[in-house]
Amino acid sequence: MLVVACQNPSQREAVKNSEDCVIVNQPEDQACVPKTIDRLVTLDGAAFEYAIALGLEPIATVPSNFQAQLPALMTNAENIQNIGKGEQPNLEAILGTNPDLIVGLDSHQSIYPQLSQIGPTVLFPFEHSGQWKEVFASVGNALHRQAATQSALAAYQARSTDFRTQMGDRLDNLQVSVIRLYPDGINLYLKDSFAGTVLQDAGLARPPSQNISAVEAQQKFGNPIQTRISREVLEQADGDVIFLWTGENTPQGNEEAKKRLQQLQQDPLWGQLRAVKAGKVYEVPSYWIGSGPIAANAILDDLYKYLLGEN
């Protein structure tokens, strides 16, 4: 279900009388998405990625660090206006773009009343990144891009199937660990994280410490997709292969995470891990914490590269 706040009665009446948009009914509200979307503003990196994957060209967005690592997202970057930092959109900047549609995640619900005064606004529920396929399909449906949605997901699934076919019997005895280094600790990314869903589709098994569903992880750790571990249980980060990233939202955070990696590499416990001994620890970009089909395909590219030796 789309989650949006209330429009005033005059706005709703205008929506109902419009012949150029399609009404999206909500429990408490309704929004009208233009049949032709010319001036789309996205409020966060996830919505931006979905729009690009659907063949739309946002005129403005809130940039994120991982976007710059995905060329497919930045082909028209010079023409896309920056409307904020982090995931905090600037309302005045949005107003200046004169949008015909504003799209984002429901994390922006608190500013919906102001957004809806600027233009039609739809916000999508997004509990965690492992739900990316469902959210992407919801966005595609609301934005009249059902065929593009199906095409993007089918192409991704075909590549996943091809990867499994090429891996063959090697999938039977291979466990893949996914970890992220924060400046202050080490986190394991679990089965239903974004990266975890891509690994599942690729037929790759996870170590027992990471093969934990979102429901179970929420109950055990209070987080559906990741959990922090201490140095004393560093073996939980082990696997036949380790994919690791250090991306943070600020240059200072990135630098601190890089220092954390250098410290980890000098730790004797790290050196005892079998993936480390085998030389199969691969540092990957932050699109491993992505949110849509473009980032998912980029992860598949890495799997082809590191596990099959294909560029």
- Closest C-alpha to 57, from 72, 68, 120: 72
Indicate if the pLDDT at residue 16 is higher than 50.
Answer: no
Q: Which two tokens stand for residue 175?
A: 């466990």
178 and 134, same domain (yes or no): no
Dihedral sign, Cα of residue 253, residue 74, residue 156, residue 147: positive
133 and 178, same domain (yes or no): no
Q: How far apart are CA 46 and CA 65, in angstroms?
A: 12
Element (H, E) at 139: helix 132-142
18 and 96, same domain (yes or no): yes
114 and 176, same domain (yes or no): no
pLDDT digits (tens, 9 = 90+) for 278-295: 999 999 998 998 889 999
Domain count, the chain: 2
141 and 192, same domain (yes or no): no
Q: Which domain holds residue 270?
A: 169-308
What distance lies between CA 303 and its chain's CA centroid?
18
Residue 132 domain-assigned (yes or no): yes
In this prediction, residue 184 carries a pLDDT of 84
- Counting Cα atoms < 13 Å in the Cβ hemisphere of 108 gives 29
- Closest C-alpha to 182, from 277, 289, 273: 289
Helix (H, G, I), strand (E, B) or coil at 124: strand
From 114, 146, 178, the end of a domain falls on 146
Q: How far apart are CA 246 and CA 265, in angstroms?
A: 13
pLDDT digits (tens, 9 = 90+) for 171-217: 998 999 999 998 888 999 999 999 999 999 999 999 999 999 999 99
138 and 244, same domain (yes or no): no
Q: How far apart are CA 2 and CA 138, in angstroms?
A: 8
How far is CA 282 from each of CA 89, 177, 202, rounded to the nearest angstrom? 34, 10, 17
Indicate if the pLDDT at residue 13 is higher than 70.
Answer: no
Helix (H, G, I), strand (E, B) or coil at 298: helix
140 and 198, same domain (yes or no): no
Read off the pLDDT band of 275 (50, 70, 90). Answer: very high
Between helix 132-142 and helix 293-308 the angle, nearest 10°, is: 140
200 and 286, same domain (yes or no): yes
181 and 240, same domain (yes or no): yes
* Total-model pTM: 0.90
Q: What is the pLDDT averaged over residues 51-62?
A: 94
Residue percentage of the chain with pLDDT more than 90: 70
CATH number at residue 49: 3.40.50.1980
Residue 104 domain-assigned (yes or no): yes
In this prediction, residue 241 carries a pLDDT of 98
85 and 179, same domain (yes or no): no
- Give residue 156's identity as a one-letter amino acid code: Y
Q: How far apart are CA 84 and CA 97, in angstroms?
A: 13
Read off the pLDDT band of 242 (50, 70, 90). Answer: very high
Residue 1 domain-assigned (yes or no): no
84 and 140, same domain (yes or no): yes
Residue percentage of the chain with pLDDT more than 70: 89
128 and 251, same domain (yes or no): no
Tell me which residue has tokens 């994390």: 107
